Amino acid sequence: MNALFLAYKPAFISSNAFLHRIKKRHNIAKAGFSGTLDPFAQGSLLIAAGAYTKLLPFIPTEPKVYEATLWLGAESASLDTENIIHIDSALPFAKTLGSAHAQEMAQEAVQNLRGEIAYTPPAFSAKRIDGKRAYTLARAGEKVTLEQAYMQVYDIKLLCYNPPFITFRAHVSKGSYIRSLGQIIAQNLSKALGLEVSATLSTLKRISEGSLQAKSGALIALNPLEILPFPHLVLDECIRDYFKDRFYHGKPSTLKSAQGNFKILPNTHNKKNPQSKNSLHIVQFEDFFSIIGLQPNGTISYLLNRIPYAHTL
């Protein structure tokens, strides 16, 4: 089966376990997803099956939009509700947290995080250390040290401040860790209060990836030709059969002598000039399509030369 669809992962199941559940339900042999969601998190998960797994690197999934709630006074080894170590039920700054001034400080702690942010990924993360997942080592009780990384925060907004909870929405780049972003918010609040504030995420929801947004309890089938961000190169009938064979087998080809026998239709997702140098294009035939690079001299390079065309479960 070749399929591309959006699923809504519920909380408290790993992305891999959720994927296995879908594969079993729909008798899918091979499948993958665009970006791991933490077990305690819920939300949109872009899934590809069969040959369509090759399309995942080409599908726009930025910005990723999350809504999260930060629990002040709770401490967790994994920075979420799965590994709670301690909950401070009698916060020394409880009165301060409830003040109107604290609302302003919470606003500033969140709002000041736009741009490129340096952070240390959580020990309980999918980062690899010597070929092993960091979360595997952390769960085994081993010490995990990860290098500093960077995330791009395109936008962030305080949605609600109800002590001891701060709820925010963040638009971020791929590979970002919202748990780490929550820690930075807590650190900013600590500086503003002059007190040490421990915190962990109590909820996390991925609202969307790029323009893709799942619905709870539903699988949304996607047509790859509608969401891939490349203009379509349409061949005239007089050259279609010739190029169909060459594209199918990935043979070296050029369109230099075919000027006037093809046209380029801009894709609504493509913000670049479809005629730009070295731009990527989709060429569709009756039963497959290809993603190619078209050089200024007409030379064709194949990124994916033969993807079966089918988009329903």
Kindly tell me the sign of the dihedral angle through the C-alpha atoms of 51, 177, 43, 80: positive
At residue 172, the 3 state secondary structure works out as strand
> What CA–CA distance (Å, rounded) separates 275 from 58?
19
Angle CA 137–139–141, to nearest 5: 75
- Closest to 37 measured CA to CA, from 185, 165, 209, 193: 209
Tallying the residues shown for the chain, one arrives at 313
| Chain centroid to CA 208 | 8
Instruction: Give the dihedral sign, CA 144/145/150/153.
Output: positive
106, 193 Cβ separation under 8 angstroms: no
Instruction: Please report, for residues 69, 115, 128, 175, the alpha-carbon distance to residue 152 in angstroms, rounded to integers and kept in the order given.
Output: 20, 6, 21, 9
3-class SS at 255? coil
Return the H-helix or E-strand segment holding 166: strand 165-172
Catalytic-role residue among 38, 80, 245, 287: 38
For residue 98, give both structure tokens. 């409830």
The b/e string for 84-114 (b: 16+ C-beta within 10 A; e otherwise) is: eeeeeeebebeebbeeeebeebbeebbeebe
Phi-psi region of 126 (alpha: psi -120 to 50; beta: other; left: phi over 0): alpha
Residue 155 is a catalytic residue: no
Return the H-helix or E-strand segment holding 65.
strand 64-72
Active-site positions read 38
